[in-house]
Chains A and B, each alone.
Chain A
Amino acid sequence: TIGMIVIGGSGTVVSGTSTNGAVHKIPGRVGDSPIAGAGSYADSTAGGAAATGDGDIMMRFLPSYQAVEYMRMGTDPRVACQKVISRIQKYAPKFFGAVICANTTGSYGAACNKIPGFTQFHFMVSSPFLSHPTEQVVDCI
């Protein structure tokens, strides 16, 4: 799955996702990716977020919407991402998942759920401060 957030110079926030879903899924199964608020969410007055991972679990918690609402309240994007991961951890401690967050000032962050074999999450960032699109990594919580 790819989830993407773009914030333009004027502050316009757009988000998107694309995926082919879970391998060997039962025909008709849809995960979190195409669900606004789960797969991704964008509000130019607050920020954007996008999720990837086990969509069957994650979609129930609307992590992208919740992260944007945390950023609306002033929470730093990295912390907002961590908070939504923590909310899911309570019910599904071993779920596979990660979230990226960005607010309207261009600050960004990411978070992921630490499970055996998945202890770091890599994501890409492009901004005027970076000479070219850069791969960044975050330690899971």
Chain B
Amino acid sequence: AAALPVVINTWAFKKAADTAWGVLQLGGSELDAVEKGCGQCEIDQCDGSVGYGGSPDESGETTLDAMIMNGNTMEVGAVADLRHVKNAISVARKVMEYTKHTLLVGESASLFAVRMGFPYEDLTTQKSLSVYSEWLNQSCQPNYWKNVIPDSSKSCGPYKRPEKVTYKEEQISRRSFHNHD
């Protein structure tokens, strides 16, 4: 156990590691260390892959996912597709500490966060907007669609399933069938 305590985190996110280690040195708990360490990256927008202003989705919005797990009790708190709230892992910890649930998602998770005292803010930045508009100008490439029309490897959507005509289209063709002398 002489090798304890230990903090290990993905990528060379030094400030996050410093923050977590500092929490332990000041007598903070392991949960505090993970929350503050990961939270540091949410503030620093590490690599553009953590926190607000990064990874805009197909509508240009940034949403956040986070979790925290207590290995003593096996309790978990998690949020996914969290909108308009920056402190994702802190909200995840509130899910663990103030609900009997494990995972809250989407706008409902945001409403829970506001009730827990977190500010409701816009997660978009100039950077994420420019990343988004550049993507639109490049025929929405790359994207995550397949087997749709129009060809998602060549153009933007909206996309739809190719083999089945939609209900509305069927109605139109049936009506015109009767629409004759």
Contacts and interface: CB of A to CB of B under 8 A. Distances in A.
Interface string B116-147: 00000000000000010001000010111100
A108 B7 CA distance: 9
Interface string A33-51: 1111001111111001011
A16 B57 contact: no
B113 interface: no
Residue from B8, B39, B56, B69 with most neighbouring chain A CB atoms (10 Å): B8
Interface string A1-37: 1111111110111111111111111111111011110
A117 interface: no
Interface of B: 1-14, 16-18, 20-21, 24, 29-31, 33-35, 37-39, 41-42, 46, 48-52, 54-59, 61-72, 74, 76, 78-81, 88-89, 92, 102-103, 105-106, 131, 135, 140, 142-145
A100 B54 CA distance: 23
B2 A14 contact: no
A91 B143 CA distance: 22
Given A33-B65, A50-B10, A127 B16 contact: no
Given A8-B30, A30-B65, 19 more contacts: A2-B11, A7-B6, A11-B4, A14-B69, A17-B67, A18-B66, A21-B65, A27-B57, A27-B58, A29-B144, A33-B65, A34-B79, A34-B103, A56-B144, A123-B12, A124-B12, A125-B6, A126-B7, A133-B14
